[in-house]
Structure formats: structure tokens, C-alpha cells
Structure 1
Amino acid sequence: MRTVELKKWGNSLAVRLPKTVLSKVGVSELPTKFDITVNKNNEIILRKQKEPESLKELFKGFDYQKYWSDWEKENPGRSKEEDWGGPVGREVF
């Protein structure tokens, strides 16, 4: 187990994580995002966020029918498509 020290960093407080610790959990590239939680024992838990492998994985479990059904309830009489007006430059359609 390693000890780290909480220090002032600008208007915040920070803990520096040693490279050896980060390499053990597979952190080698920056930026890397972490989720931070506090458990019932008031312990701070850092978990490296998993990067989505693909756009398909990112939307896995997304219910588009429910999404549009809810949208129509919240926006009665409104079209799903927006009218952006006619061309204003040399756009070719």
C-alpha cells in the first residue's frame, strides 16, 4: 500500500497518483476519465471509465421508440424535423 498526500492545487485540493499505481490499472494515456464515488464507509473510490468500443455499443439498450413517444408527449403538435429555411449561400441540393 502506498501513501499519498492531499495538497492545495489552485482553488482545489488534489492527490497525485503514482505512475506505478496507474500502470497497474491500465492507465497509460491522457486524458483518462474516472468515476468517483464515496461508499457507505466514507471511502473514496476511483474507477477508470470504460471507453465505448463503438457507436453501436454507446447506444446499446437505447429505446428509440420510447424516446420518440416521450418526445411527442412533451412536444404536442410539433414536427420532429426542423425547418432551417432556404439556402443562403451556394448550397447545392
Structure 2
Amino acid sequence: MQRKPLTISRWGNSLGVRIPKRALEKLELTENEKLDYEVTNRGLLLKARPKNDFEKLFDGFDLDAYYDKHQGNKEYDFGKPMGREIF
């Protein structure tokens, strides 16, 4: 892949860089995915975290869309604890 410069930009009170779409596709990274980083004497190294089997089961699952379709599947609040329940 060809090297291209990235620009550090302000996002609210933070600074960040945008990762190009082609790089994300090649690395199979998606929005909100966690990355590990390491500061080296040559720069900043970003590494994708390996997904565990449980996370793989829910890849691409949209919880909001699910609840929009299945209104009856949300939690039900039974009120205050009556015994020695621990929350």
C-alpha cells in the first residue's frame, strides 16, 4: 500500500487522525473497533485486537434496528427488590 500523509485534526477536546477507507477495508476494521497502540522510537504502531468468538457472533449486529423490529424483546422492570437480590 502506498504511503500517504495523514493530518492530525481537532475533534472536540481531542486530537485524532482519520484512517482511509481503503486501509480499513484491507485490515477488515469497522467502526468502534478497538485498537492497541505502542509508541516506538520510530513512530506510533496501531494493531487490531484479535476478536474473541463471542464478539465474532455479533459482528454487524445492529441493536437499535433489532429493537425497532422487535418491540416486545426489551427488558422488563419488575420494580424494587423484595428480598436479598443483589444488583
TM-score bin (small chain):
0.5 to 0.7
Give the TM-score taking structure 1 as reference length: 0.52
- Structure 1 residue 30, shift from structure 2 partner: 2.4
Superposed CA RMSD in Å reads 2.2
Does 2:83 align with 1:88?
A: yes
Give the TM-score taking structure 2 as reference length: 0.55
Give percent identity, aligned residues only.
Answer: 29
For residues 51-71 of structure 1, give each alpha carbon's deviation from its aligned partner in whole angstroms, at most 9, with x where no partner exists. 1125xxxxxxxxxxxxxxxxx
Q: Which of the pair has more CA radius of gyration? A: 1
**Structure 2: segments with no counterpart, 5+ residues:** 55-81
**Partner SS for 2:52:** coil
**Partner SS for 1:24:** helix
**Structure 1: segments with no counterpart, 5+ residues:** 55-86
- Any residues of structure 2 matched to 1:22-41 within 5 Å, and which? 22-27=24-29, 29-39=30-40, 41=41
Q: Distance in 2 between matches of 1:10 and 1:23?
A: 26
For residues 19-52 of structure 1, give each alpha carbon's deviation from its aligned partner in whole angstroms, at most 9, with x where no partner exists. 011111111x32211001111x241010011111
Q: Which amino acid aligns with 1:10?
A: G
Aligned length: 56
**Partner SS for 1:50:** coil
Q: Distance in 1 between matches of 2:42 and 2:11?
A: 23
**Partner SS for 1:21:** helix
The match for 1:17 is 19
- Any residues of structure 2 matched to 1:40-55 within 5 Å, and which? 41-53=41-53
